[in-house]
Structure 1
């Protein structure tokens, strides 16, 4: 049964990384699920208050990075609140509307369209904001990969 347990724990971690490509998936919850599954299958004993504190801090950091990376990318390029909303909507819908390329095209198009329609910016300005959205998303994704690897690495260090 150990193999089945570890496959389920590993699958929850894989789904957490899949959430980087499909942002509608609750990646942070899949990480936490992996920890909870370990506790259910084996023991919660390795989860000291220090361990829980570190993991909760890193989990909160994931949410902060997720929010502020997009905000920073759009604002840095002169985008409006409409562009932030457009980028977020594009990020959620893009991978489903345009498989594979939608993860990049979605935030770009969302910010671009929002700036053109609501922000009433020129095409050049809207393109600049769209690229800012993509750069913010990519920077945030790299940061989230690093944080998730640290979380899983620390978990494995504690339990193995």
Structure 2
């Protein structure tokens, strides 16, 4: 529930005031300092909406040679990560998703042979991983928070 300035949603506005009701079937989402240590970082910013685009400025989708991103599930020719632990599609994130969701640069991650994907670190916020933890998908909450 942390905001960029370090405060919590509950400090700014209660979830109920924002019109967010959490069904009983969803578990509470709690983060600790240990979770914060699992977040990545980057030395250089990643430029969004540049990598893997065609001349028309649209992403290059390729069902044969493309790589599927665990986060956005798009099969594109963009640069993707490779996880040293799971060594599977779960560990493949495109540069835009990795930077937008986790603050990491895909070029830096690709240079680290020991790099672990967000799912293996237990911090993946894609809808599938969040549902597996009993949490609501991010778009539902995000839409309510920005209202």
Task: Indicate whether the TM-score tops 0.5.
Answer: no
TM-score, normalisation: structure 1: 0.28
TM-score, normalisation: structure 2: 0.29
